[in-house]
Each structure stands twice: as C-alpha cells, then as structure tokens.
Amino acid sequence: MSSIKQFQVTFDCAEPERVGRFWCEVLGYVAQPPPKEFATWEDFERSRPPEDQGSWFACSDPTGVGPRLYFQRVPEGKVVKNRVHLDVRVGTGLVGEERLAALEAECARLVALGAVRERLLLADGVNESCIGMQDIEGNEFCLD
C-alpha cells in the first residue's frame, strides 16, 4: 500500500478566478498555464459551453513545495464556518512584539487585497498569537 505524497486544496466559491488570484497574491502562487492546445485562458474559455465558462481556476507554488490550489464554482453561497482552513505562516519562529508586528504588517497587506480581519488571538502560554481573517468570499484563514 502506497502513501499519498501530494494533495491539493479545493475551494468552493462563486468566482473561482477572482478568489484564486487573491490566493496567488497571498501565497506568491502562480496561475496554472492554459491547456496545451490553447494560447491563452481566454481562448480556452471561449471554446467551452457558456454555462461552463469561468467554472474553475487553479494555481500552484512556483517552487513546487506547496500544494496546488483549485477553485470551483458552486451554486450555493457560504453559510457556516469552514471545517478546514489555511494557516498562512508569516510569524514562524517569531514571538512577542516581533511576531505581532509581522502579523499586523501581513494583515494590512491582505486587507488591501480585499481580505477581512476578524480578530487577534493573543498568545496564551500554549499557542502563539495569530490573526483570524476571511478571504474575499468569506472563507476563514489564520495568519499564524
């Protein structure tokens, strides 16, 4: 029996390309190139039935280390809290005021991209400080 070595993270959303490009900016990811038989994504989209156009977007870590992210259009909106969320690791190895400064700087950058700050969770002796946030469609994530 083999073990799984790779995985992708899939987001259900209303506007896959918009949400995907947001996450490209957050993580430094790049959009997946269009299928080989198409020069551009626009050419690919025009080849599809109207109801399928814009139904998905994918991006990946240009270093090949992080998982592929896939964004798929779904008809229903987000109703409740995510059962899974991403922790964006911007404060690794930092503690105290230095960690808070790094978190706040990244939070400001992401708010400018359309993210929403929910709350600051201060260090409690077990866990370090983090900031709870939402992406441009309300998916929760943490700056950790």
pLDDT tens profile 3-29: 767 889 999 999 999 999 999 999 999
Residues 65, 108, single domain; the answer is no
Condensed to tens digits (0 to 9), the pLDDT of residues 35-86 reads 899 999 899 999 999 999 999 999 999 999 999 999 999 988 888 888 788 9
Asked if the structure places residue 78 within a domain, the reply is no
The model's pTM? 0.86
Q: How far is CA 106 from CA 29, 94, 135, in A?
A: 16, 14, 13
Q: Taking 70 as the threshold, does the pLDDT of residue 131 lie above it?
A: yes
Domain carrying residue 53 = 8-73
Asked if the structure places residue 3 within a domain, the reply is no
Residues 14, 65, single domain; the answer is yes
Q: How many domains does the chain divide into?
A: 2
Q: Round to whole Å and give the CA distance between 48 and 9.
A: 24
| Farthest-apart Cα atoms in the chain, separation | 56
Q: Round to whole Å and give the CA distance between 77 and 73.
A: 10
Q: Taking 90 as the threshold, does the pLDDT of residue 133 lie above it?
A: yes
Q: Which of 41, 73, 105 is the last residue of a domain?
A: 73
